[in-house]
């Protein structure tokens, strides 16, 4: 896929400019989008035969797989602040600690597959992680409006959340809006839900780390 | 009803201490909760015959009615920032401008009746209003957990959102968690949705104001 739109807060820009780990995290997430391609192609071609015809989960899973397998990110990192109380907030979807014990840079990422309200919750969860210093940088990725039209009904898109990015001005926060490179009615339809997903063992965060 | 829990950010506390309009707004919203009582009683008695047996909308409507009729608040004030684009964000539920042309103090309020994701969206919408200086103070009101158990399924409660209040530290923001004074299986069941609501003309905000 390609990165069609990016929001990088001023704080995140400074971090990326002067901190190698921030720059590397940005690069790895960028790669997880760019390397998410259609089988036997070097670009992502989305079926556009009907509104909402594709599931969004396979798109997400592929990005996560790249982050886990190529770049060694972990899945489902709970925030200590929530004290394992799922009612307060679920784990961070994807997480990586850059650097070593004495100089750790912690990055949390969420790929938003829910509706717009749910996107607000993800955004606030990541902000809580930053505020409690459990994250040094937060990244949200979501489809742009053009692409979301052909994905699961009501999945939120970059443009919908964009009017709220001004709340992130002082937070080390990045939002990627991704898009397919091409659209074609002949491209394979992406299954909805977990149907058709090949079983895969995720690299879950263990508290021993 | 009674106010069981309150979050008042430090900024809001200072405002209430030194600004008469802020203090008055706080008082009026407090009154809209305290004066929301069961017919022929001076307290609010909630039917507790079954989980989720009452609708939340009548509770909300009564608070709004008090704010409109007793204290002259307006309904449905759009944020100029959203440029009437409902996709970006709906209007502020209840709104009042205190003071005069030269010294206006603008307060926005939302009574949250949606699920927890929706509560995050309301919170962010109010924060955008503050950030864009279209609001000088923001107030959110929601039932506490004990009360929400007997209200519409999945309606969000104060305790659920509470872990996120730290995001409001630097925002002039107040959250009221209200509760019924008494619970009884003999109290009238509050209808769900708009059923059984007497028709009422709301004091809608007009752009001429």
Give residue-wise pLDDT tens across range B145-166.
Answer: 999 999 999 999 999 999 999 9
| Residue B197 confidence (pLDDT) above 90 | no
| Residue B167 confidence (pLDDT) above 60 | yes
Work out the minimum CA distance from A40 to partner chain B, whole angstroms: 37
- Can you give the pLDDT at residue B103? 87
Work out the minimum CA distance from B151 to partner chain A, whole angstroms: 18
- Can you give the pLDDT at residue B185? 97
| Furthest C-alpha separation in chain B | 52
Whose CA is closest to B177, among B16, B22, B45, B29? B29
Which positions of chain A have pLDDT values less than 70? Answer: 194-199, 207-209
Alpha-carbon distance A93 to A204, whole Å? 10
B146: left (phi over 0), alpha (psi -120 to 50) or beta: alpha
- Of B179 and A85, the one with more pLDDT: B179
Quick check: is A30 catalytic?
A: no
What is the three-class DSSP state of B17? helix
CB B154, CB B144: distance < 8 Å: no
- Can you give the pLDDT at residue A194? 65
Using only C-alpha atoms, chain A has a radius of gyration, in whole angstroms, of: 17
State pLDDT tens for residues B40-63.
999 999 999 999 999 999 999 999
DSSP lists the bridge partners of residue A94 as A75, A109
Q: Where are the beta strands (DSSP E) in A78-123?
A: 92-100, 103-111
Lowest mean pLDDT across B86-90, B126-130, B136-140:
B86-90
Alpha-carbon distance B136 to B172, whole Å? 7
pLDDT class of B198 with cuts at 50, 70, 90: low
Of B87, B118, B128, the CB nearest to A160: B87
pLDDT class of B87 with cuts at 50, 70, 90: confident
| Residue B194 confidence (pLDDT) above 70 | no
* Residue of A154, A163, A166, A170 to mutate, interface with B, max B Cβ within 10 Å: A163
Residue by residue, DSSP assigns B24-42 as HHHHHHHHHHHT---TTSS
Residue A161: exposure state from Cβ atoms within 10 A (0-12, 13-18, ≥19) = buried
- Of B85 and A14, the one with more pLDDT: A14
Of A81, A121, A160, the CB nearest to B120: A121
Alpha-carbon distance A19 to A27, whole Å? 13
CB A92, CB A129: distance < 8 Å: yes
Do you know the residue count of chain A? 209
Residue in A with minimal Cα distance to B82: A163
Across chain B, mean pLDDT equals 93
- Can you give the pLDDT at residue B205? 86
| Residue B208 confidence (pLDDT) above 60 | no
Work out the minimum CA distance from A156 to partner chain B, whole angstroms: 11
Alpha-carbon distance A58 to B39, whole Å? 54
Catalytic residue among B112, B134, B162, B182: B112
The predicted complex's ipTM stands at: 0.92
């Amino acid at each position: 896929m390609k990165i069609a739109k990016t929001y990088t807060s001023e704080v995140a820009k400074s971090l990326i400019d002067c901190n190698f780990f921030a720059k590397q995290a940005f690069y790895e997430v960028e790669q997880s989008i760019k390397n998410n391609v259609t089988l036997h192609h070097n670009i992502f071609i989305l079926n556009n035969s009907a509104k909402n015809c594709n599931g969004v989960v396979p798109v997400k899973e592929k990005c996560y797989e790249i982050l886990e397998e190529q770049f060694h990110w972990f899945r489902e990192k709970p925030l200590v602040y929530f004290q394992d109380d799922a009612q307060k907030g679920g784990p961070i979807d994807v997480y990586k600690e850059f650097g070593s014990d004495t100089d750790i840079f912690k990055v949390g990422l969420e790929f938003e597959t829910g509706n717009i309200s749910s996107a607000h919750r993800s955004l606030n969860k990541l902000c809580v992680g930053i505020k409690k210093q459990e994250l040094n940088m937060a990244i949200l990725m979501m489809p742009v409006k053009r692409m979301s039209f052909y994905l699961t009904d009501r999945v939120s898109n970059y443009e919908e959340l964009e009017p709220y990015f001004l709340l992130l001005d002082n937070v080390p926060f990045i939002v990627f809006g991704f898009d397919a490179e091409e659209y074609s009615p002949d491209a394979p339809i992406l299954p909805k839900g977990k149907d058709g997903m090949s079983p895969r063992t995720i690299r879950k965060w263990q508290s021993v780390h």
